[in-house]
Structure 1
Amino acid sequence: MSNELFISSTEKGERIALLQDKRLIEYHFDEAEHQFSVGDIYLGTVKKVVSGLNAAFIDIGYEKDAFLHYHDLSPNILSLNAYTKGILNKKPFSKRLKGFKLKPQIDKLGKITDVLTKGQSILVQVVKEPISSKGPRLSCDISIAGRYVVLVPFANAVNISKKITSKQERQRLHKMLSSVKPENFGVIVRTVAENKELDELQKDLEECVEKWEKGIFKLKKAKPRDRIVSEMNRAASILRDMLNDNFDNVVVDSKDNYEKLKALLQSIAPEKLKILKFHNGKSKLYEQYGIERQLKSLFGRSVSLPSGGYLIIEHTEALHVIDVNSGNKSTREEDQEATAVNVNKEAAREIARQLRLRDMGGIVVIDFIDMKQAANRKEINSVLKNEMKGDRSKYTVLPITKFGLAQITRQRVRPEMNIVTKEKCPSCNGTGSIQASITVTDLLENHLDHLMEKQNEAKMSIILHPFLYAYYREGVISRQLKWYFKYKKWIKLIKDSSLGITEFHFLNAHGEEIELK
């Protein structure tokens, strides 16, 4: 399995595509002026404490106050608040927390009013970017992510990733990190740290501590709303989190990006420098590697499957719905059940890919083709879970019901990625249906009759779609001519192709539109 990362720079930001075996599996757009990224640490101000929600609203500079729930407070929030207050008041606290006396941990079932007060300065970290009408979601469980470890200030535990299953390896990593971690810092050991030597882990840990120290130095002179620690950009974080022996290429088309990623690779994996390449060809990066074509075919409402089946993906405020259809699939399977199983397998693989690609979060309901046998439903569920393993977001996959419905919850920390591949029809506004033409003509003539007979308009024009224009002008004795005989006044017709087929407008003698009631 080969991984390739392609980064294309534009005026508005960076387009980032992650390919696995030449298939697009992740796509991101990192805006140039984007703020409030996941992992950023801010000095915020408590604007409101809401006991009914057991939460607080924090001002970190976004147009809407960010949300902080009690459950997102660190158990060591009292230590964090005391340290933050001391640093802001110029107390001589060590940036490495040496000698700092930790406060008691808070009660898991406590109240936020016992911890925070209005107007208080507080150090917070963005865990979910602003999405739709909601502001950022915050946490006070501060952490600094490295390649192999995550540094957690004001804690002492060493925790190992659950994906490292070897008991011997877990014990080895725990013993090594316990011996080198600084005082008053906890450590979370990431999956990629498996089988790594102490010097690599210690170097990564030191880099995280240095990042924390720089943030505390900045905090001493900080004002409310200031960003204290910045998370690295999206491309760099993907490299940091996913770089392994399966990474074959990292291709960029910007010299600035090339130099930044070169410095990153030099720091975290010097042996991988050869995979970084600079694209300066005549054709655009995404077009040369076929990424543009994949983007256009993968972000529509309908997504085709290799066998001829297809998915229909619908988005609502509450959840996402995916319908699996067999389409024109014609195979040699002996019965309908076998066909359903094969299409559903293909669909499960594509759905796992689509969730990552579009970064769909919240509740996802999938309507698979009905399968009578429970064993087949279990098999499809296994395929779906297996394909979801590569997803870096937290997720839960529930068993498929006897009605063929699968439910997935998936964490979303950034706005959903969407690329417009269609425009709404101006006539039906995306509903797929328009007024019947006979109804349109009746409606137009009813309005015309009212204006001519009741309002006695002197001179009038009608602007309408070319189809309606042709309808009223056809024949030797056209409908337009019949109007002349009826009303004893000539009514001018003006065609306008920008109108929908069911649209029309009446103008008076001064060329002003007549409001229809």
Structure 2
Amino acid sequence: MNVSPRETRIAVLENGQLMELRFERGERVVGNIYKGLVQNVLPGMDAAFVNIGLERNAFLYVGDILPEGGDAEEPTPTPKRSELRKRNIGELLKIGQEILVQVVKAPRGTKGARVTTRITLPGRYVVLMPDGGGLGISRKIEDRAERERLRQIAQKLHPHGFGLILRTESEGKTEKEIGQDIEYLTQLWQQIRENIAQAHAPALVHRDATLLYRVLRDVFSSEVDRLWIDDPEEYEKVHEVLKVIAPALRTRVMLYDKPTPMFEQFNIEKEMERLLRRKVWLKSGGYLTIDETEAFTAIDVNTGKFT
């Protein structure tokens, strides 16, 4: 984890090779939850524009609008997207209507953020869905006996009225550990509900976790040998967070204090420079040319030396 006043960068290395790179610059909006106002409804596009208080209105597609669940006694399964797309958005939303949305795609260029009414709250071991949706277990957990064990735990702890998904990290975890994660998320949702009640749309009612916390929650696990951090303040923050979510992993966190910049020491800067080149050579002798525009990313495949 490399920290500077301008940005935070986190690289994941496997056998010395760069496998994943995450950046955070300025204010992040993906994952944030807003109390918005429907600004325009466009039946021809099966979409609506929602004012969430940002510079540009957010885009809400009809397939991302969940049906009203009301106060049903039991959570109902989430409808398939193909079913949701068949509805008339003009019958679902009205101009001036208040609506709760979560950002799934950040604003880019002249386009506003993309939002959904499918609110999700990810924890370390589970994902909680306040609008229901049943119970699920990560497909990456393949052992049948373990899946059945987790299913029994989930059925026992499943909070009334919520959808619940057990993440890959829940594999091998105890009922107590999973229960603590669920309890934290249900308390978080209660706080969000209080924020919603007090807020006047458009308003931010929940800010998603920082890059630091998201990486500790989603990436840092027993499979990671070391977490190097080159900033003493962030190093202390990591220890405080791990006290709560994964105390056993605190010994794997190391403070990097050598004079050589950490990303240079681990050859990450060179690898980043190589990966971000416009032309990418292939083992066959051919190459790819990658050009990015606001509308799309174009990848041109050239046979090059192969011919």
Alignment of 1:34-73 (within 5 A): 34-37=27-30, 39-73=31-65
The verdict on how the C-alpha distance between 1:310 and 1:208 changes in structure 2, with shifts beyond 3 A counting, is: farther
Larger Rg: 1
2:185 and 2:75 mapped to 1: Cα distance? Answer: 23
Which residue of 24, 28, 31 corresponds with 2:22? 28
Residue 221 of structure 2 aligns with which residue? 244
Which residue of 234, 239, 255 corresponds with 2:232? 255
Alignment of 1:452-463 (within 5 A): none
**Normalized against structure 2, the TM-score is what?**
0.87
1:334-360 CA distance string (max 9 Å, x none): xxxxxxxxxxxxxxxxxxxxxxxxxxx
The verdict on how the C-alpha distance between 1:243 and 1:133 changes in structure 2, with shifts beyond 3 A counting, is: same
Q: Is the 8 A contact 1:47 1:57 kept in 2?
A: yes
Q: Is the 8 A contact 1:161 1:190 kept in 2?
A: yes
RMSD value, Cα: 2.6
1:203 and 1:236 mapped to 2: Cα distance? Answer: 17
2:249 is the counterpart of 1:272: yes
2:133 and 2:269 mapped to 1: Cα distance? Answer: 48
Letter in 2 for 1:314: I
1:72 and 1:152 mapped to 2: Cα distance? Answer: 14
Residue 169 of structure 2 aligns with which residue? 192
Residue 418 of structure 1 aligns with which residue? none
Quote the offset at 1:285 in angstroms: 2.0
Alignment of 1:121-136 (within 5 A): 121-136=98-113
2:221 and 2:124 mapped to 1: Cα distance? Answer: 11
Quote the offset at 1:247 in angstroms: 0.5
Which residue of 248, 261, 284 corresponds with 1:284? 261
**Normalized against structure 1, the TM-score is what?**
0.54
Letter in 2 for 1:35: R
Letter in 2 for 1:251: W
Quote the offset at 1:304 in angstroms: 4.8
Instruction: Point out which structure has higher relative CO (alpha carbons under 8 A, 6+ apart).
Output: 2
Q: Is the 8 A contact 2:157 2:179 kept in 1?
A: yes
The verdict on how the C-alpha distance between 1:302 and 1:103 changes in structure 2, with shifts beyond 3 A counting, is: closer
2:226 and 2:268 mapped to 1: Cα distance? Answer: 14
Q: Is the 8 A contact 1:43 1:60 kept in 2?
A: yes
Residue 11 of structure 1 aligns with which residue? 5
Letter in 2 for 1:29: F
Letter in 1 for 2:287: L
2:129 is the counterpart of 1:152: yes
Residue 200 of structure 2 aligns with which residue? 223
Residue 320 of structure 1 aligns with which residue? 298
1:36 and 1:102 mapped to 2: Cα distance? Answer: 32
Quote the offset at 1:297 in angstroms: 2.2
Quote the offset at 1:326 in angstroms: 7.0
Quote the offset at 1:72 in angstroms: 0.4
Q: Is the 8 A contact 1:149 1:205 kept in 2?
A: yes
Q: Is the 8 A contact 1:78 1:115 kept in 2?
A: no
Secondary structure in structure 1 of the residue aligned to 2:24: strand
Residue 303 of structure 1 aligns with which residue? 280
Quote the offset at 1:280 in angstroms: 2.5
Q: Is the 8 A contact 1:45 1:58 kept in 2?
A: yes
Residue 360 of structure 1 aligns with which residue? none
1:194 and 1:224 mapped to 2: Cα distance? Answer: 40
Quote the offset at 1:308 in angstroms: 8.7
Residue 111 of structure 1 aligns with which residue? 88
Q: Is the 8 A contact 2:135 2:163 kept in 1?
A: yes
Q: Is the 8 A contact 2:8 2:23 kept in 1?
A: yes
Quote the offset at 1:303 in angstroms: 3.4
Gaps of 5+ in 2: none
Quote the offset at 1:56 in angstroms: 1.0
Which residue of 177, 184, 209 corresponds with 2:186? 209
Once the two structures are aligned, what percentage of the paired residues are identical?
Answer: 30
Q: Is the 8 A contact 2:18 2:268 kept in 1?
A: yes
Q: Is the 8 A contact 1:156 1:183 kept in 2?
A: no
Quote the offset at 1:140 in angstroms: 0.4
Quote the offset at 1:310 in angstroms: 6.2
Gaps of 5+ in 1: 1-6, 80-98, 328-368, 371-517
Q: Is the 8 A contact 2:39 2:48 kept in 1?
A: yes
1:151 and 1:135 mapped to 2: Cα distance? Answer: 26
Q: Is the 8 A contact 2:75 2:131 kept in 1?
A: no
Alignment of 1:468-479 (within 5 A): none
Q: Is the 8 A contact 1:102 1:154 kept in 2?
A: no
Q: Is the 8 A contact 2:288 2:302 kept in 1?
A: yes
Quote the offset at 1:316 in angstroms: 4.9
1:312 and 1:43 mapped to 2: Cα distance? Answer: 43
Secondary structure in structure 2 of the residue aligned to 1:138: strand
Q: How many residues align?
A: 300
2:162 and 2:61 mapped to 1: Cα distance? Answer: 24
Letter in 2 for 1:202: G
